[in-house]
C-alpha cells in the first residue's frame, strides 16, 4: 500500500527551486503538496487550505467573541485547517522544505502525531538574521522533528553547532537527472564559460565577471554566458549592477546575459560550453550555499567545474580531477584556472568526463530520491 506523504514548501513555483519539484514529482508515494508561506495556505491546484476547516467550526469562529474582538489570530485558523487536512488525507509523514517551514508546522504535526522531517537547504541553516530570530524555535523543532536533512557535509556540522542531535541529521545531497543532463557527444574546444544561478550575494556573479575580465586579457575570443536573474523574493540590484559592470568594463561583446531559462534550455546551453564557473562565497550576512544544483548539472553534462571551496561544492568537485577549487574571493586564482582550461581543451574534456562519472555514481536523482525516501519511511511507525 502506497504511503500518504505531505510535502510543504513556501513558494508555489520558483525557477531556482527545482529540487523541491523533484521531491514532489519523484518520491515513490502519494504526495500531497501544500504551499503558500511558511505556514501553508494552499493545496496543489490552488485550492485554499481553509476549505478543510469544518463548516461548524468556521461558523463558531465567525460569531465568536474572539472574532469580534480580534483576539482570534489567523494562525489559529491556518493550524486547524492543516490539522484537518492531515486527518482527512490520512497523512503518515510530513516533509517540509526549509527550517522556517518546520518551525511553522511543528506543533500541528505533534498534535496530529505525525513524523516531521525537516529538509534544510542553505540560508535557513546559515543566515545570521535567521539564526538570531529562530535559534530558540529551532531548539524546540530539533526536539520535535523525527529527522533532519542536510544537503552538504558542512551543513550537517552547522546543524550540530546550532544544537541539533547528530543522530537525527542525515546528509543527502540534491540529485540531478543524468538522463536529461548528458555527456556531450563531441569534444568542445571554444573558450566558452557558463554560469547558472540567482544573482545574489552568496553566488557572487560580480566576482565571476572580475575573473573573466582577466581571462579576456589573455584570450580575447573567450565568451561568458550568464543564466538567471535575482530569483523569487530577491532584489534585482545585483543583477543590474552586474550588467552595469559589463558596460563600464566594455565587456558587452563577450558577456551574454541569458535571463531565466527552462531546465531543458539550461541542459542545451551546457552542451555548448567548455567550462562551468561559480564563485560562491560567505557574505557578511552569513548566508551560504547548500549544494548548488547547477554544479551537479554541469558535472552531469561533462563540464569541468571551476568553483570555490564553499558549502556542498567541496563534496561534489574533486580539485584537480573533475575541476578546480579556489579560495573564496580569490578572483586571480579563478582567472588563472579559467585561462588554463581555455588553453587546454583536452584537459577540460578529460576533467569533464571524470566529473560525469562522479555525478552518475554519487549524485544522480535516483540515488538522491532513494536516500530521501529511506529517511522518510524510517520515521513512519509500523502501525
Could you tell me if 161 and 201 lie in one domain?
no
pLDDT above 70: percentage of residues in the chain = 93
183: in domain:
no
Residue 25: pLDDT over 80? yes
- Cell numbers 494552499: residue: 42
pLDDT at residue 11, rounded to an integer: 87
Q: Are residues 356 and 371 part of one domain?
A: no
Q: Is residue 257 a contact partner of residue 99, using CB atoms and an 8 Å limit?
A: no
| The predicted structure's pLDDT at residue 186 | 75
Residue 76 — pLDDT band, cuts 50, 70, 90?
Answer: confident
Residues 75 and 161 grouped into a single domain: yes
pLDDT band at 193 (very low <50, low <70, confident <90, very high): very high
The DSSP 8-state label assigned to residue 173 in this structure reads -
Report in angstroms the alpha-carbon separations of 363 from 117, 125, 301: 21, 22, 13
Statement to judge: residues 134 and 242 lie in one domain: no
**Does residue 322 sit in the same domain as residue 372?**
no
Domain-located, residue 39? yes
The answer to whether residue 383 sits within a structural domain is: no
Q: Residues 229, 352: one domain?
A: yes
Q: How many domains does the chain have?
A: 2
pLDDT value at residue 333: 98
- What single DSSP character describes residue 103? H
> What is the pLDDT, as a whole number, of residue 65?
47
**Over the stretch 350-370, which tens digit does the pLDDT of each residue have?**
999 999 999 999 999 999 999
Is 316 inside any structural domain?
yes
How far from chain centre, in Å, is Cα 201? 15
Position 180 in a domain: no
Spell out where the chain has E strands. 4-8, 30-35, 42-43, 47-48, 93-97, 116-119, 147-150, 169-171, 192-196, 223-227, 255-259, 275-278, 305-308, 323-326
pTM (2 d.p.): 0.90
User: Is residue 229 a part of any domain in this protein?
Assistant: yes
Shared domain check, 21 and 123: yes
In this structure, the answer to whether residues 230 and 347 fall within a common structural domain is yes
Domain co-membership, 162 together with 215: no
Of 111, 102, 45, which Cα lies nearest the Cα of 81?
A: 111
Q: Has residue 46 got a pLDDT over 90?
A: no
Flag whether 186 is in a domain.
Answer: no
Mean pLDDT of 291-298: 95
Q: What share of the chain in percent tops pLDDT 90?
A: 83
Judge whether 197 lies within some domain: yes
**H helices present in 10-127, as ranges:** 18-26, 55-63, 65-69, 74-88, 99-112, 123-126
CATH number assigned to the domain comprising residue 62: 3.40.50.2000
Instruction: Tell whether 341 and 235 lie within a shared domain.
Output: yes
Instruction: State whether 169 and 236 are in the same domain.
Output: no
Domain coverage including residue 369: 4-175+365-377
Q: 245: burial class by Cβ within 10 Å (0-12, 13-18, 19+)?
A: middle
Same structural domain, 125 and 10? yes
Tell me, what's the pLDDT at 125?
Answer: 96
Amino acid at each position: 500500500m502506497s504511503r500518504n506523504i505531505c510535502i510543504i514548501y513556501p513558494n508555489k513555483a520558483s525557477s531556482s527551486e527545482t529540487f523541491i519539484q523533484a521531491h514532489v514529482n519523484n518520491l515513490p508515494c502519494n504526495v500531497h503538496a501544500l504551499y503558500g508561506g511558511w505556514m501553508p495556505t494552499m493545496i496543489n491546484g490552488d485550492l485554499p487550505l481553509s476549505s478543510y476547516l469544518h463548516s461548524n467550526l468556521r461558523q463558531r469562529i465567525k460569531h465568536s467573541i474572539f472574532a469580534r474582538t480580534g483576539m482570534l489570530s489567523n494562525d489559529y485558523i491556518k493550524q486547524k485547517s492543516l490539522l484537518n487536512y492531515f486527518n482527512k488525507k490520512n497523512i503518515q509523514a510530513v516533509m517540509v522544505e526549509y527550517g522556517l517551514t518546520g518551525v511553522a508546522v511543528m506543533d500541528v504535526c505533534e498534535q496530529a502525531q505525525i513524523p516531521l522531517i525537516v529538509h534544510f537547504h542553505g540560508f535557513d541553516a546559515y543566515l545570521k538574521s535567521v539564526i538570531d530570530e529562530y535559534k530558540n524555535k529551532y531548539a524546540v523543532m530539533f526536539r520535535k522533528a523525527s529527522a533532519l536533512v542536510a544537503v552538504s557535509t558542512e551543513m550537517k556540522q552547522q546543524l550540530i553547532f546550532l544544537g541539533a542531535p547528530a543522530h537525527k541529521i542525515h546528509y543527502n545531497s540534491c540529485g540531478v537527472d543524468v538522463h536529461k543532463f548528458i555527456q556531450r557527444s563531441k569534444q568542445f574546444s571554444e573558450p566558452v564559460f557558463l554560469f547558472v544561478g540567482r544573482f545574489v550575494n552568496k553566488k557572487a556573479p560580480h566576482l565571476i565577471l572580475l575573473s573573466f575580465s582577466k581571462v579576456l586579457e589573455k584570450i580575447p575570443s573567450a565568451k561568458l554566458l550568464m543564466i538567471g536573474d535575482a530569483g523569487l523574493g530577491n532584489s534585482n540590484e545585483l543583477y543590474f549592477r552586474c550588467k552595469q559592470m559589463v558596460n563600464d568594463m566594455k565587456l558587452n561583446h563577450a558577456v551574454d546575459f541569458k535571463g531565466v531559462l527552462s531546465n531543458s534550455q539550461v541542459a542545451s546551453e551546457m552542451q555548448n560550453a567548455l567550462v562551468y564557473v561559480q564563485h560562491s562565497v560567505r557574505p557578511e550576512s552569513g548566508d551560504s550555499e547548500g549544494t548548488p544544483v547547477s554544479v551537479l548539472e554541469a558535472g552531469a553534462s561533462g563540464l569541468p567545474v571551476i568553483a570555490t571551496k564553499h558549502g556542498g561544492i567541496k563534496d561534489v568537485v574533486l580539485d584537480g580531477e573533475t575541476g578546480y577549487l579556489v579560495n573564496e574571493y580569490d578572483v586571480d586564482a579563478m582567472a588563472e584556472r579559467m585561462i588554463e582550461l581555455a588553453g587546454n581543451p583536452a584537459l577540460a574534456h578529460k576533467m569533464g568526463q571524470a566529473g560525469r562519472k562522479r555525478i552518475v555514481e554519487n549524485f544522480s536523482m535516483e540515488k538522491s530520491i532513494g536516500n530521501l525516501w529511506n529517511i522518510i519511511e524510517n520515521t513512519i511507525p509500523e502501525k
